[in-house]
Amino acid sequence: MAKVIFIVMDGLGDRPVREFGEKTPLEKANTPNFDRFAANGVCGLMYTLGRGRTPGSDIAHLAIFGYDPAKYYTGRGPIEVRGLGIPLLTGDVALRGNFGTVDRCGIIIDRRAGRVRDVSEFASALDGTIIDGVTFVVKPGTAHRAGVVMRGPGLSARISDADPHVGGVAVRPPEPLDASAEARHTAKALSEFLERAHSVLSGLPINQNREQQGLPPANYLLVRGAGYYSNVPSIYERCGLRAACIAGGGLYKGIGAYLGMDLIVVPGATALPDTDVLAKFRAAVLALETHDFVFVHVKAADSLGEDGNFQGKSDFIERVDEAASVLAGLDDVLILVTGDHSTPCVLRKHSSDPVPVLVHGPGVRVDAVTSFGERACALGGLGHFSGLELMPQVLNLLGTSHLEGA
Amino acid sequence: MAKVIFIVMDGLGDRPVREFGEKTPLEKANTPNFDRFAANGVCGLMYTLGRGRTPGSDIAHLAIFGYDPAKYYTGRGPIEVRGLGIPLLTGDVALRGNFGTVDRCGIIIDRRAGRVRDVSEFASALDGTIIDGVTFVVKPGTAHRAGVVMRGPGLSARISDADPHVGGVAVRPPEPLDASAEARHTAKALSEFLERAHSVLSGLPINQNREQQGLPPANYLLVRGAGYYSNVPSIYERCGLRAACIAGGGLYKGIGAYLGMDLIVVPGATALPDTDVLAKFRAAVLALETHDFVFVHVKAADSLGEDGNFQGKSDFIERVDEAASVLAGLDDVLILVTGDHSTPCVLRKHSSDPVPVLVHGPGVRVDAVTSFGERACALGGLGHFSGLELMPQVLNLLGTSHLEGA
């Protein structure tokens, strides 16, 4: 069976840019490798969530890996928490959070506690706390970030964020979002935990040291994005593919872990424009020795789009294309290149403009498209389809599609 | 109103074949008649069940005739049984089966009783048996095959196959597949019937004669594919079209009968590569005098694909095209040519690669496609659509589409 390298350039799609003679950043970029894949492959256009629906990156990735977001997306918490390597059990409520700083009156004076670099000590002071029958698992994330899991019977994710998302205001206890006993129980236990965490954190010697050095103490845990976890089958369980994830950004590692992919750490993968794409693609080729399906995420096209930096986005796409030369000539490998959504520079945010898709490798009905771009792919042999329809087509090319009827 | 000849070449779609210079068997075939229909018609690409879903032929045909398989497919039994001319009533459970041979210990020694040629006498010995309020209708099929209908109150098709699908093992009584009283009642009645059938069959003089001649006795009825029948409206009831079916294969006759089509028997229609396609097409033209809609099924493209015989598949398609010359010049007739699914020679099994569709005749918006092939049709004026969307478009062309709203 063929193997798969599945490349997602975040926010790849765009709109015509006047300064580029009405080309998009992708169309403007010189991409000889992707063009060659397109010329010897089959192309199409993908509406990740369907026409006119604009996805966040979390939801977009679930859809393109074949997981219906309506069923498998319950909030950002479980995804981020899985990316931190925290296992989840059905019934858990997971949240992501920051260690921040509040003053004596409970006003947030720094949402990131002076962008504290390492929160391991703070997290371990809270990890394992039990309140009202709920065990709180607290693990450090990158920099000021943390993952929190509430574990116990009768929990609900129908609670408000405790993080007000801005500084200069009072912390707010989480509130139940519906009248169920579960939501009330969860909000109450979490409120008590956050109060107790504040008191524990305030008393830590490390925080007293920070205050003596004039640094804001990490004395409050601001949590948000509660999501209820319920048995998400892995890509292996669903498709029989041993899957790996190569990503710089925490969210994308989270997506990989959430779907049961092995996380492959690549030094130099930063999720920034300076990321070492070549190292990521080399790692992907290597991973084919142990895996059937390798997801490679490249982030900066999205961030540059959000900055309105069309030249930077186009240049970055050229860098990705250049690195893709190491993917040429692979035997019996499907190479899929797409984006999770568009981030038009003119909008500086996500949009529902469709994204180009190319599939190169054994079995495809090579079409007449000879360049990789939004408008070239609109005329490709795959036609226009939705994100949830992508993985079934990949499985069909692999010859592992399940027969219905007889 | 125009009439319709609806040609389905089973397993028509394919993937590029290296030996054909990366053309598919259809693209490789010289098909001047289909190409002329395409050039003067409108084309498209059809995903029978939707992208990435691979259909069996039974489910595929239901979809392309506009019958949602989720509602109208309950198992192979009812379709095969209808093809044998056995009427079905709502509440019936229908199964297909073989007359086979078991030894004294209940081990299957021949699943087809030496490929016995005619099972009429065996079937009539069992037909009409009543057990536990269930009447068993048993009718002969071709060669060793039979159709079985269970009729009575409170039946369910949620029972396991009594046919283990292999020889050399013991027969197994059907088991209920859920805890309902209906499933338990059905499994119990069927088990008793199979036991009684064994005893009746063993005692038949014709079987004693077979044993004396050293032939395996047809002493056991191996049944499978139970399906619950619930009022399937005919094509006439749904669309107002008097429909006919011309097919060599039993399953396809079954599809026709299941959807209320008149079965037209054409000598030489074998469902094999040697089938008399010309006779079938001539019969189709003749049938237009009495019918509005004539379904012509051609089987061998699928079987040759399953054999990996790309040359044979391409040659067979050329034979079908040649015969299609008798369809040229028909007045006021829509000619539709498609497949029910792809059977790529490289896979030797069904896949979900889309199939080409051409529609020629009055009212179509003739497009720029000038040849009938997978990739040519991908750029056709019908675009890409799913199997359930085909018949509504045919009815629209006929001008009989129902107006919604005002």
Over residues A154-210, the pLDDT tens digits come to: 999 999 999 988 889 999 899 999 999 999 999 999 999 999 999 999 999 999 999
pLDDT at position A211 is 92
Residue A156, token pair as written in the block = 């609900």
Best A1, A4, A364, A401 member to test B by mutation, with max B CBs in 10 Å, is: A401
The Cα–Cα gap between B345 and B248 comes to 22
A window 303-362, beta carbon within 8 A of B: none
Q: Cβ of A401 and B53 within 8 Å?
A: yes
Q: What is the mean pLDDT of residues B16-34?
A: 98
Residue B40 half-sphere exposure toward CB, CA atoms < 13 A: 12
B379 — contact with chain A (CB < 8 Å)?
yes
Residue B122, token pair as written in the block = 């065996």
Report whether pLDDT(B402) > 90: no
Over residues B251-262, the pLDDT tens digits come to: 999 999 999 999
Distances (CA, A) of B287 to A241, A298, B84, B362: 50, 60, 21, 19
Residue with tokens 């009989």: B400
A395 three-state secondary structure:
helix
B237 three-state secondary structure:
helix
Over residues B144-169, the pLDDT tens digits come to: 999 999 999 999 999 999 998 888 99
> How many angstroms away from the CA of B81 is the closest CA of chain A?
15
A105 — contact with chain B (CB < 8 Å)?
no
Which ipTM was obtained for this model? 0.89
Report whether pLDDT(B311) > 90: yes
Q: What is the mean pLDDT of residues B391-399?
A: 97
- Intra-chain end-to-end CA distance of chain B, in Å: 23
Q: What is the mean pLDDT of residues B201-206?
A: 96
- The shares of helix, strand and coil residues in chain B, as percent rounded to the nearest 5, are 35, 25, 45
Q: Cβ of A401 and B56 within 8 Å?
A: no
Of B52, B59, B350, the CB nearest to A393: B52
pLDDT at position A142 is 86
Report how far Cα B182 is from the mean position of its chain's Cα atoms.
Answer: 28
CB distance A378 to A39 below 8 Å: no
Residues in chain A, pLDDT under 50: none
Give the pLDDT band (50/70/90) at residue B406. Answer: confident
Residue B206, token pair as written in the block = 């014709």
Of B50, B76, B347, the CB nearest to A406: B76
> How many angstroms away from the CA of B289 is the closest CA of chain A?
34
Residue A320, token pair as written in the block = 């990705």
pLDDT at position B273 is 92
CB distance A354 to A46 below 8 Å: yes
Specify the DSSP class assigned to residue A147.
E
Q: The whole model's pTM is what?
A: 0.92
Q: Cβ of A396 and B22 within 8 Å?
A: no
Residue with tokens 């959807």: B259
The Cα–Cα gap between B199 and A141 comes to 73
pLDDT at position A271 is 87
Give the pLDDT band (50/70/90) at residue B382. Answer: very high
Of B15, B51, B60, the CB nearest to A365: B15
pLDDT at position B200 is 97
CB distance A365 to B24 below 8 Å: yes
CB distance A154 to A183 below 8 Å: no
Q: Cβ of A392 and B352 within 8 Å?
A: yes
